[in-house]
Amino acid sequence: MTKSNDGNLDRRVVVAELLRDPGDLLVVTGLGAATYDAGAAGDRPLNFYLWGAMGGAAMIGLGIALAQPKKRVLVVTGDGEQLMGMGALATIAASGADNIAVAVLDNGRFGETGSQYSHTGLGADLAAVATACGWQTVVTARDMDEVGSLRTRLRRENMFAVLRISAEEKPRHLPPRDGAYLTDRFRRALGVATD
């Protein structure tokens, strides 16, 4: 059994850096620790947190990106969540959308359920999958210098990034979880609410 993940980045520090001074960046987070990390970085109406719908984060990002072609969308999710929606990597690449980036916090584990090894901890390489799906810009970051450069690039480029984070568990930070509330405040902040 190959255990190839060698990440040592601190996920909270990584996400705080990626989301620093977010401006009008439209953020979607995958369920579990990615949602907690984004909430800990600072709750804001233009963060749409998933607490379920596993595998859906990147596709929600695509729907927003197509609806808001002049804005930038950043999806922040975990390896397990992206593995469940791996087909979305092909769908997004094929869609031609040019205002979306996906950042996968990859610890090679299903952290929410007892830290069992995920497929990326057993040899699968999501960056290689994204490349094979047609993503033109794919980056794997292993240190904070690379993360700092990614913060800017993820807001400018249509790219897929894997961030090799440590499997260390963090205290849960719980942002709002009422889906109707999250939806309504996102639409109002974006100025698209109709009532």
Residue ranges binding another protein (CB under 8 A): 26, 28, 48, 52-68, 71, 85, 87-88, 90-91, 94-95, 179-180, 182-183, 186-187, 190-192
- Our CB check for another protein shows the closer of 71 and 170 to be 71
Shortest reach from residue 21's CB to another protein, in Å: 22
Q: Count Cβ atoms below 10 Å from residue 40 Cβ, excluding itself.
A: 20
Shortest reach from residue 86's CB to another protein, in Å: 8
**What is the dihedral angle through the alpha carbons of 144, 148, 154, 160, rounded to the nearest 10 degrees?**
-20
- Our CB check for another protein shows the closer of 7 and 30 to be 30
- Our CB check for another protein shows the closer of 144 and 174 to be 174
Shortest reach from residue 134's CB to another protein, in Å: 13
How far out from the chain centre does Cα 5 lie?
18
- Our CB check for another protein shows the closer of 127 and 190 to be 190
Q: What single DSSP character describes residue 9?
A: B
Shortest reach from residue 126's CB to another protein, in Å: 15
Tell whether the torsion through CA atoms of 130, 134, 135 and 139 is positive or negative.
positive
Shortest reach from residue 88's CB to another protein, in Å: 6
DSSP states of 10-65 as a string? -HHHHHHHHTSS-TT-EEEE-TTHHHHHHHHH---TTEEE-SS-TT-HHHHHHHHH
For residues 1 and 173, give the distance between their C-alpha atoms in angstroms, rounded to a whole number.
Answer: 33
- Our CB check for another protein shows the closer of 16 and 45 to be 45
How far out from the chain centre does Cα 43 lie?
16
